[in-house]
Amino acid sequence: MNFYESNEKTMNSRFNTIIRDLETKSIGLFQKDFLLTWEKTTEELESVLLVAEALKEMRDKNLSTRCFDSGLAISQFRDNSTRTRFSFASAANLLGLEVQDLDEGKSQIAHGETVRETSAMISFLSEIIGIRDDMFLGAGNKYMREVGDALDEAFLDGVLPQRPGIINLQCDIDHPTQSMADLLHLKSVFGGLGNLKGKKIAMTWAYSPSYGKPLSVPQGIIGLMTRFGMEVDLAYPQGYGLIPDVVELAVKQAHKNGGNLRIVGSMDEAFTDADIVYPKSWAPYHVMQQRTDLLLNNDHNGLKDLERECLSNNARFSNWECTEEKMKLTRGGKALYMHCLPADISGVSCKEGEVAASVFNRYRVPLYKQAGFKPYIIAAMMMTNRFEKPDAVLRNIEHGGKIRKFE
Amino acid sequence: MNFYESNEKTMNSRFNTIIRDLETKSIGLFQKDFLLTWEKTTEELESVLLVAEALKEMRDKNLSTRCFDSGLAISQFRDNSTRTRFSFASAANLLGLEVQDLDEGKSQIAHGETVRETSAMISFLSEIIGIRDDMFLGAGNKYMREVGDALDEAFLDGVLPQRPGIINLQCDIDHPTQSMADLLHLKSVFGGLGNLKGKKIAMTWAYSPSYGKPLSVPQGIIGLMTRFGMEVDLAYPQGYGLIPDVVELAVKQAHKNGGNLRIVGSMDEAFTDADIVYPKSWAPYHVMQQRTDLLLNNDHNGLKDLERECLSNNARFSNWECTEEKMKLTRGGKALYMHCLPADISGVSCKEGEVAASVFNRYRVPLYKQAGFKPYIIAAMMMTNRFEKPDAVLRNIEHGGKIRKFE
Amino acid sequence: MNFYESNEKTMNSRFNTIIRDLETKSIGLFQKDFLLTWEKTTEELESVLLVAEALKEMRDKNLSTRCFDSGLAISQFRDNSTRTRFSFASAANLLGLEVQDLDEGKSQIAHGETVRETSAMISFLSEIIGIRDDMFLGAGNKYMREVGDALDEAFLDGVLPQRPGIINLQCDIDHPTQSMADLLHLKSVFGGLGNLKGKKIAMTWAYSPSYGKPLSVPQGIIGLMTRFGMEVDLAYPQGYGLIPDVVELAVKQAHKNGGNLRIVGSMDEAFTDADIVYPKSWAPYHVMQQRTDLLLNNDHNGLKDLERECLSNNARFSNWECTEEKMKLTRGGKALYMHCLPADISGVSCKEGEVAASVFNRYRVPLYKQAGFKPYIIAAMMMTNRFEKPDAVLRNIEHGGKIRKFE
């Protein structure tokens, strides 16, 4: 043992409990892209949470979690991002990977290069590719699969020495790094996944003075929380439906797992006796489809008309705001308020918005903690993709006892 | 001992001298932001210099100075920068931290997100946040403190596992990484801080064909050099005053430390018998205030009028140029010429500017050396912020003897 | 031995063979910029290939190739790039260096800072500077040498503790990282450099519906392949000549090395009995000169006229396409098709282009493998620049047996 190693050769019992739990799971995440939570088994989702918790335990004990001495993690943001960008960078750094951003503004992709070629070209020494592509309905998730097919081909052809894993950093359908961070937050707040059974969560639309917000968060929430026996109320004004296939799938999942998914027409109904509320604005499914068509056709006048129409339609539902009154409807008036952030806060970031300032302020600390799980969730997705036995790797690096910050 | 370790287990005596000196200092820099040099004790400033020197010694002997195995250093440049950007990146890399840039163009901050939220969101796994915000008088330093308050709150609330330290990479009031690098340069040139006592430094305005240059460099210089018993002459044409509070503070400091601060009305007077000259353009305090108001109001015509007015006013003082004639007025005609770079060099980067080409060329080597201290100063600010006993950490990593470049 | 070390203390015999071969070479690459392949001896070029192969062997065996514990590698792209950007980042990461991009958009260089000053300012803790500057004929390579001179000066003056090495990532004259990756591909396909002797390579112009493509790839190919006894046919339509000095030099090299360089006027002639074909569009030398003058004069109308004139001229040669028919002319109809990518593929990326889709598709796998050598070539250029005895460093880090990915 020298200066670079920890004095505590044995970690606390919590780490050991997590790893023992992890060892019981049958995990098929190795070398599989993480694109939609509903493509993964419940055991696999639980494993991602456990790996995230193990990494957090180690870092909190100042132990290095590096399992790579070199290697790249590519990020491709086809939409703005602050928190996911930093979460991805933090996750890569935790494991010893270096982030290289594929910025289409700088690259030659804009010059007509095919997805197939670029995917191979950026991957020679890359372990992970994180992609955000949430602007076009029917396009984002499809793009990720195109990249995946290209990587499969390049790996099988011997072009790539390894097949980098893809992590969906938000698409048109799902936002798995968000929903899984949300789930880890719930596990932490309610003291275990088992305690979520029977709990009521209200995933409801909320008013926002902007338009065109992606559907991936509400879809991600109903697609994930229905896996854990929760009572999910999905509420939105008429005309603000989600992608029908996703809703159908969520209903089936809910029934299979001893829970339920109800679609209700008012925030009040959804909030009544809810344990958790998740009020968040989104654009109607059919509007997002129109918008995609207009964008692809570069129809700027059409887009302006659509925006005007949508905003005036939104305005009819400005009472869909998460107020103190609405919060009183929840179980004991004390439901956990959740949001993926940033929220449209009435009187703060806009005149009228998704949530009253007093509600938001009261829940700021849990909201920020919710966001704080994302770097670990992304790191866990990276780790389960790259290592067949993440439990063994974690045990080994913990046993190695290398410290992160030398003090 | 293996290949990765240095053959020389014992460093040279210079390193040991530095560390022994450091051990005598009472340092309260741990977990305190570095925003203004005058908020730090003289012992603390001396300690930063010593840590910087120790890091330089180690690197010059090809010893690794990494004290982090992972972790992020965030940079936020709200104004252009080359040298500080590279200095910050070099400093982070020296200690084992990875830089992640918060680029507001790419992020959602532009969309109305609050400073409080973003500060927490980028900080989950971050050790250091470096900020340059020097465009608006009354705003830059204030912004850094807002970020600091947000970080304090998030740490106390248990949102952040550590409270990242903030380093001021230039604000409207001070430019501490510059002035401290300048001080280390002076320590090196004059053979010790003690030898600065009684030395005369001329911090003077100089003509430039541009306008709107920040006040932070001259303010940083008078705010720092008055701590070490120097005779400081501050010279500028009528109407080009600095922030009055800063000047007042500098005068008090000068008197307390056995030195003096004089405001004089000509370059010649300031240069006479000076040991060091620092001729540099800046915009008048009251102009910067007007400019801030106009910028905040998006008053483009007002800004154009102000620029025209200022440039024509500047033009009245084009003889405030650091020429060979003026240099002859200095002590033995051999004062040390300093500049934070880039300088407006007459006949090179502009027709008429801050300094004659022959003077600049003669001092190019010391000027570049002056700049070369900045990466070490920033690394020392990082290290004293993160480690309670930087002397012990330095001794330990030096004793570890890990080499930086394997040869 | 612990978890972080490889189980295989002895690498396979292929690594040993490479290193033994490397040990026989007399290498003068240490601390010499890599700007033009024809400034290097054949032994030096062979050494770069061997170091690249050794690094690839190690990585394929999951051994860490880090030879730096910290240090920066600066990239400066004065033209768009995806593949070279990622190759450079991968190479730096392989050796343990962190990339810092010098983006002139963000930096103060745009504000008139001199090359000399910036070169020093970014180099205090930097090991390598990679530069792409291929837009202006007569300017790119010259700029790299200006940077080099500035670094020499700064190092000699004691401003820099080391003199960073410069790697040409494409200039107006040569594209050495491309041509060297191409050469390693040929070595791999033909089973050794010795087997290239007498092989015929057709470096031919091809039609593209764009204009202004740099000359550096064809010049790089004829400047390098004539070193290895190949029969080089350079084919282009009348008026599409390369820089005369480069062609002259290539002819001399060919004769000296027992090969030949012929300039022919048709693709068919060049393709006949060729073992390798490299059809690629470029702008005529004299057009690039005109373009440079117009660009420097900001003559937008002149540029538009030139573009129109060029495209209409190009259109006369749209039959210069690498079709299946043309491929049948090659040796056994089975020549190796090469391209630096991205290619203008007829019916895919454009209506009519450099290559028929069926030809491109048939050669996709070797094309991508060709590109995959670039990260290793760049890493080898870095390593031979920084280490006097790269063979010894490679032996040592291989013997150290540190693993890259902990599994």
Residues of chain A falling short of pLDDT 50? 1-7, 9, 110-112
Kindly indicate the confidence band of residue C217, based on its pLDDT and cuts at 50, 70 and 90: very high
Shortest alpha-carbon distance between residue A94 and chain B (Å): 6
The whole-number pLDDT of residue C113 equals: 52
Question: Helix (H, G, I), strand (E, B), or coil: what is residue B76?
Answer: strand
The fold adopted by the segment(s) B70-162 is Rossmann fold (3.40.50)
Ranges of each domain in chain B: 1-65+387-407, 70-162, 178-371
The CATH number given to C13-174+373-400 is 3.40.50.1370
pTM: 0.95
The whole-number pLDDT of residue B289 equals: 87
- CATH topology identical between C13-174+373-400 and C181-371: yes
The answer to whether A372 faces chain B, any CB pair under 8 Å, is: yes
The whole-number pLDDT of residue B110 equals: 44
φ and ψ of C371, to 5 deg: -65, -30
The whole-number pLDDT of residue B13 equals: 87
What is the per-residue pLDDT across C299-311, written as a single tens digit (0 to 9) for each? 999 989 999 998 9
Q: Which of A64, A96, A342 sits opposite B108 (nearest CB)?
A: A342
Please, what CATH class does the domain formed by C181-371 belong to? alpha beta
The CATH number given to A13-174+375-400 is 3.40.50.1370
Shortest alpha-carbon distance between residue C210 and chain B (Å): 31
Q: Distance between CA atoms of C343 and C211, rounded to whole angstroms?
A: 13
Alpha helices in C64-163 (DSSP H): 83-95, 115-121, 140-156
Neighbours of chain C (3+ CB pairs under 8 A): A, B
Tokens of B200: 């005369």
Kindly indicate the confidence band of residue C107, based on its pLDDT and cuts at 50, 70 and 90: low
The whole-number pLDDT of residue B9 equals: 47
The fold adopted by the segment(s) B1-65+387-407 is Rossmann fold (3.40.50)
The fold adopted by the segment(s) A178-371 is Rossmann fold (3.40.50)
The whole-number pLDDT of residue B105 equals: 66
Window B:375-394, CB contacts with A under 8 Å: 386-389, 393
The whole-number pLDDT of residue C13 equals: 87
The one-character DSSP state at C84 is H
The answer to whether C159 faces chain A, any CB pair under 8 Å, is: no
What is the per-residue pLDDT across B145-190, written as a single tens digit (0 to 9) for each? 999 999 999 999 999 999 999 999 999 999 999 999 999 999 999 9
Over its length of 407 residues, how does chain B's per-residue pLDDT go in tens digits?
344 445 454 556 899 999 999 999 988 999 999 999 999 999 999 999 999 999 999 999 999 999 999 999 999 998 878 889 999 999 999 999 999 999 876 555 544 457 899 999 999 999 999 999 988 888 899 999 999 999 999 999 999 999 999 999 999 999 999 999 999 999 999 999 999 999 999 999 999 998 888 999 999 999 999 999 999 999 999 999 999 999 999 999 999 999 999 999 999 999 999 999 999 999 988 888 888 888 888 899 998 999 898 898 899 999 999 999 999 999 999 999 999 999 999 999 899 999 999 999 999 999 999 999 999 999 999 999 999 999 999 999 999 999 999 86
Q: Distance between CA atoms of C167 and C164, rounded to whole angstroms?
A: 10
Is residue C281 packed enough to be buried (19+ CB in 10 Å), middle (13-18) or exposed (0-12)?
buried
Q: Distance between CA atoms of A235 and B264, rounded to whole angstroms?
A: 72
The answer to whether B106 faces chain A, any CB pair under 8 Å, is: yes
Place of tokens 């938000």: A170
The whole-number pLDDT of residue B1 equals: 36
The whole-number pLDDT of residue C7 equals: 46
Per residue, what are the HEC states of C4-64?
CECCCCCCCHHHHHHHHHHHCCCCCCCCCCECCHHHCCHHHHHHHHHHHHHHHHHHHCCEC
The whole-number pLDDT of residue B406 equals: 87
Kindly provide the ipTM of the predicted complex, given to two decimals: 0.94
A393 to C375: CB separation less than 8 angstroms, yes or no: no
Q: How many CB atoms lie within 10 A of CB A158?
A: 11
The answer to whether B407 faces chain A, any CB pair under 8 Å, is: no
Task: Judge whether B160 and B107 are in contact, CB under 8 Å.
Answer: no
The answer to whether B142 faces chain C, any CB pair under 8 Å, is: no
Q: Distance between CA atoms of A339 and C244, rounded to whole angstroms?
A: 65
Shortest alpha-carbon distance between residue A66 and chain B (Å): 8
Torsion-angle region of B299 (φ positive above 0: left; ψ -120 to 50: alpha; else: beta): beta
What is the per-residue pLDDT across B12-30, written as a single tens digit (0 to 9) for each? 689 999 999 999 998 899 9
B161 to A403: CB separation less than 8 angstroms, yes or no: no
Q: Distance between CA atoms of A303 and A296, rounded to whole angstroms?
A: 11
